[in-house]
Amino acid sequence: ANQRKHDLHILHVPKTIDNDLMETDHCPGYGSVARVAAHILLGDDLDNRSFYNGIKINICMGRHAGWIAAASALARRCVENEDPENCGPHLIYMPEHTFSEEQFINDVQKTYDQLGRATVVVAEGIADQLKNSRFAGEKDEFGNAQLSGSGKLGDHLAKIIEKHVQVHSHLGKLRVRSDTWGYLQRSLPGMVSEIDKQEAFEVGVASVDFMMRGETDKTVIIQRVSDAPYSSMPGLTDLALVAQKTKRVPAHMINAAGNGVTNAFFEYILPLAGELPKMYSLGGVGKIEKRLAHYVRH
Protein backbone atom coordinates (compact mmCIF):
# COMPACT_ATOMS: atom_id res chain seq x y z
CA ALA A 1 0.00 0.00 0.00
CA ASN A 2 2.86 2.41 0.82
CA GLN A 3 4.61 1.63 -2.45
CA ARG A 4 1.44 2.42 -4.36
CA LYS A 5 0.79 5.47 -2.20
CA HIS A 6 -2.52 4.01 -1.09
CA ASP A 7 -3.77 5.51 2.17
CA LEU A 8 -4.24 2.28 4.15
CA HIS A 9 -4.12 2.08 7.94
CA ILE A 10 -3.73 -1.29 9.66
CA LEU A 11 -4.07 -1.76 13.40
CA HIS A 12 -3.82 -5.06 15.25
CA VAL A 13 -6.48 -5.66 17.93
CA PRO A 14 -5.45 -8.50 20.29
CA LYS A 15 -7.65 -11.35 21.47
CA THR A 16 -6.04 -14.57 22.61
CA ILE A 17 -6.80 -16.64 25.67
CA ASP A 18 -3.25 -18.03 25.45
CA ASN A 19 -1.98 -14.70 26.85
CA ASP A 20 1.23 -15.08 24.88
CA LEU A 21 1.51 -11.70 23.14
CA MET A 22 4.54 -9.56 23.92
CA GLU A 23 4.46 -5.99 25.27
CA THR A 24 0.97 -6.22 26.82
CA ASP A 25 0.37 -6.95 30.52
CA HIS A 26 -2.22 -9.53 29.48
CA CYS A 27 -4.54 -10.30 26.58
CA PRO A 28 -8.31 -9.90 26.34
CA GLY A 29 -9.79 -13.31 27.07
CA TYR A 30 -7.14 -14.47 29.51
CA GLY A 31 -8.95 -13.40 32.68
CA SER A 32 -11.99 -15.38 31.58
CA VAL A 33 -10.15 -18.58 30.69
CA ALA A 34 -8.34 -18.26 34.04
CA ARG A 35 -11.77 -18.35 35.72
CA VAL A 36 -12.69 -21.42 33.70
CA ALA A 37 -9.47 -23.18 34.72
CA ALA A 38 -10.08 -22.33 38.38
CA HIS A 39 -13.67 -23.62 38.30
CA ILE A 40 -12.69 -26.84 36.53
CA LEU A 41 -9.90 -27.61 38.96
CA LEU A 42 -11.91 -26.69 42.03
CA GLY A 43 -14.65 -29.13 41.06
CA ASP A 44 -12.22 -31.74 39.77
CA ASP A 45 -10.20 -31.69 42.98
CA LEU A 46 -13.31 -31.93 45.16
CA ASP A 47 -14.31 -34.98 43.13
CA ASN A 48 -10.80 -36.41 43.51
CA ARG A 49 -11.04 -36.06 47.30
CA SER A 50 -14.04 -38.38 47.36
CA PHE A 51 -12.01 -41.56 46.90
CA TYR A 52 -8.56 -42.86 47.82
CA ASN A 53 -5.90 -43.70 45.26
CA GLY A 54 -7.20 -41.19 42.74
CA ILE A 55 -4.71 -39.62 40.31
CA LYS A 56 -6.34 -37.13 37.94
CA ILE A 57 -4.49 -35.56 34.99
CA ASN A 58 -5.90 -32.53 33.15
CA ILE A 59 -4.52 -31.43 29.77
CA CYS A 60 -5.18 -27.77 28.91
CA MET A 61 -4.31 -25.47 26.01
CA GLY A 62 -0.87 -23.90 25.81
CA ARG A 63 1.36 -25.14 23.03
CA HIS A 64 4.16 -22.62 23.60
CA ALA A 65 3.27 -20.96 26.92
CA GLY A 66 1.80 -22.21 30.18
CA TRP A 67 -0.43 -19.29 31.14
CA ILE A 68 -3.66 -21.33 31.25
CA ALA A 69 -2.07 -24.20 33.16
CA ALA A 70 -0.68 -21.69 35.65
CA ALA A 71 -4.13 -20.13 36.10
CA SER A 72 -5.52 -23.45 37.33
CA ALA A 73 -3.60 -22.78 40.57
CA LEU A 74 -6.36 -20.31 41.46
CA ALA A 75 -8.42 -23.31 42.57
CA ARG A 76 -6.09 -23.69 45.54
CA ARG A 77 -7.29 -20.32 46.84
CA CYS A 78 -10.97 -21.33 46.75
CA VAL A 79 -11.16 -23.61 49.80
CA GLU A 80 -11.46 -21.88 53.17
CA ASN A 81 -10.11 -23.39 56.40
CA GLU A 82 -7.83 -25.74 54.48
CA ASP A 83 -4.07 -25.93 53.99
CA PRO A 84 -3.48 -24.90 50.34
CA GLU A 85 -0.93 -27.72 50.10
CA ASN A 86 -3.82 -30.19 50.40
CA CYS A 87 -5.78 -28.52 47.61
CA GLY A 88 -5.39 -29.26 43.94
CA PRO A 89 -3.94 -28.81 41.50
CA HIS A 90 -1.01 -30.28 43.39
CA LEU A 91 1.25 -30.31 40.33
CA ILE A 92 1.31 -27.97 37.31
CA TYR A 93 3.57 -28.48 34.29
CA MET A 94 4.25 -25.76 31.71
CA PRO A 95 6.34 -25.79 28.51
CA GLU A 96 8.57 -23.05 29.96
CA HIS A 97 10.28 -25.66 32.14
CA THR A 98 12.02 -28.82 30.94
CA PHE A 99 9.69 -31.78 31.46
CA SER A 100 11.19 -35.04 32.67
CA GLU A 101 8.99 -38.12 32.79
CA GLU A 102 11.13 -39.55 35.58
CA GLN A 103 10.65 -36.38 37.64
CA PHE A 104 6.94 -36.43 36.80
CA ILE A 105 6.68 -39.93 38.23
CA ASN A 106 8.61 -38.88 41.35
CA ASP A 107 6.45 -35.77 41.84
CA VAL A 108 3.22 -37.76 41.60
CA GLN A 109 4.62 -40.46 43.88
CA LYS A 110 5.56 -37.89 46.52
CA THR A 111 2.14 -36.22 46.38
CA TYR A 112 0.39 -39.58 46.50
CA ASP A 113 2.48 -40.66 49.49
CA GLN A 114 1.50 -37.48 51.34
CA LEU A 115 -2.18 -37.24 50.44
CA GLY A 116 -3.23 -40.60 49.04
CA ARG A 117 -4.24 -38.84 45.82
CA ALA A 118 -3.09 -36.18 43.32
CA THR A 119 -4.61 -33.70 40.88
CA VAL A 120 -2.33 -32.64 38.01
CA VAL A 121 -2.52 -30.02 35.25
CA VAL A 122 -0.34 -30.25 32.14
CA ALA A 123 -0.10 -27.74 29.28
CA GLU A 124 -0.41 -29.44 25.89
CA GLY A 125 2.99 -28.04 24.83
CA ILE A 126 4.68 -30.63 27.04
CA ALA A 127 4.02 -33.13 24.25
CA ASP A 128 6.70 -31.43 22.13
CA GLN A 129 9.28 -32.36 24.77
CA LEU A 130 8.30 -36.05 24.71
CA LYS A 131 9.17 -36.93 21.12
CA ASN A 132 11.94 -39.20 22.36
CA SER A 133 9.98 -40.63 25.26
CA ARG A 134 11.21 -44.06 26.29
CA PHE A 135 7.79 -44.68 27.84
CA ALA A 136 5.69 -44.07 24.72
CA GLY A 137 4.13 -47.07 23.05
CA GLU A 138 3.05 -45.53 19.74
CA LYS A 139 5.83 -44.08 17.54
CA ASP A 140 5.79 -42.25 14.24
CA GLU A 141 7.86 -43.25 11.19
CA PHE A 142 10.89 -41.41 12.63
CA GLY A 143 10.70 -43.18 15.99
CA ASN A 144 9.30 -40.17 17.85
CA ALA A 145 6.52 -40.49 20.41
CA GLN A 146 3.12 -40.01 18.76
CA LEU A 147 1.34 -37.77 21.27
CA SER A 148 -0.50 -35.24 19.12
CA GLY A 149 -4.25 -35.51 18.79
CA SER A 150 -7.17 -35.49 21.16
CA GLY A 151 -6.47 -37.27 24.42
CA LYS A 152 -3.17 -38.90 23.46
CA LEU A 153 -0.95 -36.89 25.83
CA GLY A 154 -3.27 -37.49 28.78
CA ASP A 155 -3.52 -41.20 27.99
CA HIS A 156 0.26 -41.43 27.72
CA LEU A 157 0.87 -39.76 31.08
CA ALA A 158 -1.86 -41.83 32.74
CA LYS A 159 -0.24 -45.05 31.56
CA ILE A 160 3.12 -43.93 32.95
CA ILE A 161 1.57 -43.29 36.36
CA GLU A 162 -0.34 -46.58 36.38
CA LYS A 163 2.84 -48.48 35.65
CA HIS A 164 5.39 -46.67 37.83
CA VAL A 165 3.70 -45.12 40.87
CA GLN A 166 3.80 -47.44 43.86
CA VAL A 167 0.41 -47.98 45.49
CA HIS A 168 -0.41 -48.17 49.17
CA SER A 169 -1.55 -51.78 49.02
CA HIS A 170 -4.05 -51.52 51.88
CA LEU A 171 -6.00 -48.89 49.91
CA GLY A 172 -6.51 -51.02 46.82
CA LYS A 173 -5.79 -50.35 43.15
CA LEU A 174 -4.56 -47.00 41.84
CA ARG A 175 -7.29 -45.11 39.95
CA VAL A 176 -5.77 -42.94 37.18
CA ARG A 177 -7.88 -40.80 34.85
CA SER A 178 -7.12 -38.05 32.33
CA ASP A 179 -9.21 -35.34 30.65
CA THR A 180 -8.29 -33.12 27.71
CA TRP A 181 -10.26 -29.88 27.96
CA GLY A 182 -10.20 -28.99 24.27
CA TYR A 183 -12.14 -26.03 22.88
CA LEU A 184 -14.65 -25.93 25.74
CA GLN A 185 -12.17 -24.07 27.96
CA ARG A 186 -12.48 -21.01 25.71
CA SER A 187 -16.20 -21.31 24.95
CA LEU A 188 -18.15 -20.58 28.14
CA PRO A 189 -19.80 -17.13 28.09
CA GLY A 190 -21.18 -17.66 31.58
CA MET A 191 -17.62 -17.71 32.92
CA VAL A 192 -16.55 -14.31 31.59
CA SER A 193 -14.52 -12.25 34.06
CA GLU A 194 -16.03 -8.81 34.69
CA ILE A 195 -12.59 -7.18 34.40
CA ASP A 196 -11.96 -9.05 31.17
CA LYS A 197 -15.30 -7.96 29.71
CA GLN A 198 -14.63 -4.34 30.63
CA GLU A 199 -11.09 -4.34 29.27
CA ALA A 200 -12.09 -6.05 26.03
CA PHE A 201 -14.62 -3.28 25.41
CA GLU A 202 -12.06 -0.60 26.26
CA VAL A 203 -9.51 -2.16 23.89
CA GLY A 204 -12.10 -2.10 21.10
CA VAL A 205 -12.97 1.55 21.72
CA ALA A 206 -9.28 2.52 21.93
CA SER A 207 -8.59 0.71 18.66
CA VAL A 208 -11.12 2.87 16.84
CA ASP A 209 -9.74 6.02 18.48
CA PHE A 210 -6.16 5.15 17.51
CA MET A 211 -7.23 4.39 13.95
CA MET A 212 -9.07 7.69 13.64
CA ARG A 213 -5.90 9.47 14.74
CA GLY A 214 -4.07 7.93 11.79
CA GLU A 215 -2.07 5.27 13.65
CA THR A 216 -0.90 2.29 11.59
CA ASP A 217 1.42 -0.72 11.91
CA LYS A 218 0.62 -0.78 15.62
CA THR A 219 -1.02 -3.12 18.12
CA VAL A 220 -3.21 -2.20 21.07
CA ILE A 221 -1.95 -3.31 24.48
CA ILE A 222 -3.25 -3.32 28.05
CA GLN A 223 -1.08 -1.43 30.54
CA ARG A 224 -1.46 -2.28 34.21
CA VAL A 225 -1.57 0.95 36.22
CA SER A 226 -1.94 -0.50 39.73
CA ASP A 227 -2.64 -3.76 41.54
CA ALA A 228 -4.55 -2.61 44.63
CA PRO A 229 -6.96 -1.37 43.62
CA TYR A 230 -6.49 -2.88 40.20
CA SER A 231 -6.63 -0.52 37.25
CA SER A 232 -5.44 -0.57 33.66
CA MET A 233 -5.52 1.49 30.49
CA PRO A 234 -5.15 0.77 26.76
CA GLY A 235 -1.87 1.64 25.07
CA LEU A 236 -0.17 1.30 21.72
CA THR A 237 3.07 -0.29 20.57
CA ASP A 238 4.77 -1.22 17.30
CA LEU A 239 3.39 -4.36 15.71
CA ALA A 240 6.95 -5.46 14.90
CA LEU A 241 7.60 -5.88 18.65
CA VAL A 242 4.78 -8.42 18.89
CA ALA A 243 4.60 -10.29 15.57
CA GLN A 244 6.12 -13.80 15.51
CA LYS A 245 7.14 -13.58 19.17
CA THR A 246 5.83 -15.44 22.21
CA LYS A 247 5.47 -14.19 25.77
CA ARG A 248 6.10 -17.07 28.11
CA VAL A 249 5.44 -17.35 31.83
CA PRO A 250 8.48 -15.65 33.43
CA ALA A 251 10.81 -17.67 35.63
CA HIS A 252 9.94 -15.75 38.80
CA MET A 253 6.33 -16.94 38.48
CA ILE A 254 7.29 -20.63 38.32
CA ASN A 255 8.47 -22.51 41.40
CA ALA A 256 12.00 -23.90 41.61
CA ALA A 257 10.84 -27.47 40.99
CA GLY A 258 9.06 -26.47 37.79
CA ASN A 259 5.79 -28.04 38.93
CA GLY A 260 3.83 -25.06 40.24
CA VAL A 261 3.59 -21.29 40.52
CA THR A 262 4.84 -18.68 42.98
CA ASN A 263 3.07 -15.91 44.88
CA ALA A 264 4.19 -13.51 42.13
CA PHE A 265 1.86 -15.30 39.73
CA PHE A 266 -1.07 -15.04 42.13
CA GLU A 267 -0.46 -11.30 42.46
CA TYR A 268 -0.57 -11.07 38.67
CA ILE A 269 -3.65 -13.20 38.01
CA LEU A 270 -6.03 -12.58 40.92
CA PRO A 271 -7.31 -9.17 39.71
CA LEU A 272 -7.88 -10.50 36.20
CA ALA A 273 -9.95 -13.55 37.10
CA GLY A 274 -12.30 -11.66 39.38
CA GLU A 275 -14.35 -13.14 42.20
CA LEU A 276 -14.05 -16.91 42.54
CA PRO A 277 -16.31 -19.39 44.34
CA LYS A 278 -15.56 -20.26 47.95
CA MET A 279 -15.81 -23.74 49.40
CA TYR A 280 -15.48 -24.52 53.08
CA SER A 281 -13.64 -27.38 54.75
CA LEU A 282 -14.39 -28.61 58.26
CA GLY A 283 -10.64 -28.91 58.59
CA GLY A 284 -10.02 -32.54 59.43
CA VAL A 285 -11.45 -35.14 61.81
CA GLY A 286 -10.25 -33.45 65.01
CA LYS A 287 -11.87 -30.15 64.09
CA ILE A 288 -15.05 -31.91 62.94
CA GLU A 289 -15.41 -33.62 66.32
CA LYS A 290 -14.87 -30.33 68.12
CA ARG A 291 -17.48 -28.53 66.03
CA LEU A 292 -20.07 -31.29 66.47
CA ALA A 293 -19.45 -31.84 70.19
CA HIS A 294 -22.23 -29.42 71.17
CA TYR A 295 -24.78 -31.47 69.23
CA VAL A 296 -23.73 -34.91 70.44
CA ARG A 297 -25.64 -36.51 73.31
CA HIS A 298 -23.58 -38.68 75.62
For every residue of 257-272, DSSP letters joined together read TSSSB-HHHHHHHHHH
| CA–CA gap between residue 130 and residue 168 (Å, rounded) | 29
Q: Judge contact between 86 and 282, C-beta under 8 A.
A: no
H/E element, 155 = helix 152-164
- Among residues 64, 12, 31, the alpha carbon closest in space to that of 241 is found at 12
| CA–CA gap between residue 140 and residue 243 (Å, rounded) | 32
DSSP annotation of 250? P
**C-alpha dihedral sign at 30, 33, 178, 146:** negative
Q: Length of the chain, please?
A: 298
| CA–CA gap between residue 59 and residue 89 (Å, rounded) | 12
Q: Which residues, in sequence order, are CB contacts of 144 under 8 Å at separation 6+? A: 131, 132
Active site residues: 18
| CA–CA gap between residue 177 and residue 54 (Å, rounded) | 8
| CA–CA gap between residue 203 and residue 14 (Å, rounded) | 8
Q: Judge contact between 200 and 189, C-beta under 8 A.
A: no
Residue 74 backbone dihedrals phi, psi, to 5 degrees: -60, -30
Q: Judge contact between 279 and 49, C-beta under 8 A.
A: no
Q: Which residues, in sequence order, are CB contacts of 189 under 8 Å at separation 6+? A: none
